[in-house]
Chain A
Amino acid sequence: MTVSSDTSMIHAVGLRKSFGSKSGETVEAVCGIDVDVRRGESFGFLGPNGAGKSSTMRMIAAVSPISGGSLRILGMDPATQGPQIRARIGVCPQEDTLDTELNVRDNLYIYGRYFGLPRAEVRSRTDELLEFVQLTEKAKAKVEDLSGGMKRRLTIARSLINKPDLLLLDEPTTGLDPQARHVVWDRLFRLKQQGVTLVLTTHYMDEAEQLCDRLVVMDKGVIAAEGSPLELIRAYSTREVVELRFGIGEHEEIAPKVEDLAERVEVLPDRLLLYSSDGEETLAKVHERGLDPIASLVRRSTLEDVFLRLTGRTLVD
């Protein structure tokens, strides 16, 4: 296996994807992005729905042809070496594509066979992976009887059947309850520790902070910012944030009254966000002005604040 540049798992320059819509006009889903993912790294695509994350992932998965720019996966060209690339990556899609009428073990076994792996090899990998995602006891259960979290873990196990160098996860924990999310995150941490390169999309800020060494924020098909979660917070937000909740519909008119107390004020439909280096001090000044919010909270900045700053809207809209 040769990888052109030793550490580059994904190398995209000016990558574009456009679709012809029914009305005849062209829809630009990805409008020229540069991405470089290194071996062993955990890399995230962040963005609201429709930002172009999934289109980018499908191109990286060597399934959807690129519309422009250049793309190399594991040093190979997806246009001509699709099967070779796909043999070495794992894909965990957003919507489960498990065969619901087959049992858990058969789902893994059959998927392993799609890679042309010998039957005995697939059987032993199936047992290992069932253990890894804690589904050994469910091996004979039908997929349709599994919980959402179990299905997700099975999908992750399936994406590992070919021992991929690069694992692509599209919204890995969307729709899972908090406990199930933590189980999935734990398994992903273990993979990262084993040296598997992870690339994931998410619109959950906490997920990105937990899992990603480095990430890009995508919006409307372009990259709005790039860096580690901490770097992005430092570059695009303050250390602390004061959240103020007033009566319904009052936020717009109160905003000017506190504008000078913070570096920046963000008006959301249900609250005001005051960005400052010392949240407690800012909150005290708000009270000094005779303003009496229904609720207030001082917290550290998160990626969500970065996102608000960069795109001017909340993530899940």
Chain B
Amino acid sequence: MTQLILFNIANGLIIGAFYALMAIGLSLIMSLSDVINFAHGGFLAIGAYIAYTLSPYIGFWGGLLVAPVLTAVLGIIVEKFLISRVYGRDPLYSLLLTFGLAFIFEDGTRMIWGAQSVPYSVPNWLMTPLSNEYFFITGYRLLMIALVALAVGGLFWMMNKTRLGLRIRAGTLDLETVSVLGVNVRVLRNLNFGIGIYLAGLAGVLAAGQLGLQPTIGASLIMPSFVAIIIGGLGSLLGTLLGGLLIGVASGITSVFLPSGTEAVMYVMMALVLLVRPQGLLGEEGRF
């Protein structure tokens, strides 16, 4: 029994890490651009498929390194030519645009790579359980946790120590003033979008090795990511990370005791948080 619970907590942490990576990217874009990016899951899928396509040539590690960067480049192009056009308009425009993009990405990947799940190969030694007793702990899972920690840590460092990060944080509260201080806010929003999409791409590559790869891989992760943002508090990176991990673990534990409640538990948690602490666990007026 203990082992079963541990198994599901570990599973929950892994899935929660995906939610968190997605949610942090979504939250960055939402805060600086006021756009709810429904296409975020589509970018995640594209990141995964890019890695799948490239890994025969550049290997698993090459794909892991290159695919998120290429996804970010795609994100930067999409922001520049499509998303930036709806800034400052009624939110309905950006919702329709990103919703449309989500469909295009999903069906685009289906056209190119097929609707069936494709095998994404991770080096064998990474998939071997580290011990018999804890069969669910593989090198790949540890690698994932390490990479997620590295990505989130890097993002924190950037937000607090680099001028780009400081300008993004300032811009989430008052983009106008950042602009009159001579900062090109078009470039700022563009780069910020790229950073958010990089995280989605990274989540995609990691998820492909863990969950398998099919065109709907992103769509299944996006709703929980919104829930993670709400639970953690909009604008708090740490809160979003926490929110993602929490709902992942809660789903994992629930699946042991009440399998039918696995999906519902995160919404119950969201409702509770909204009742008790509407700004989210770590949310406050100042974002980031």
Does chain A bind chain B? Answer: no
A residues adjacent to B (C-beta < 8 A) = none
B residues adjacent to A (C-beta < 8 A) = none
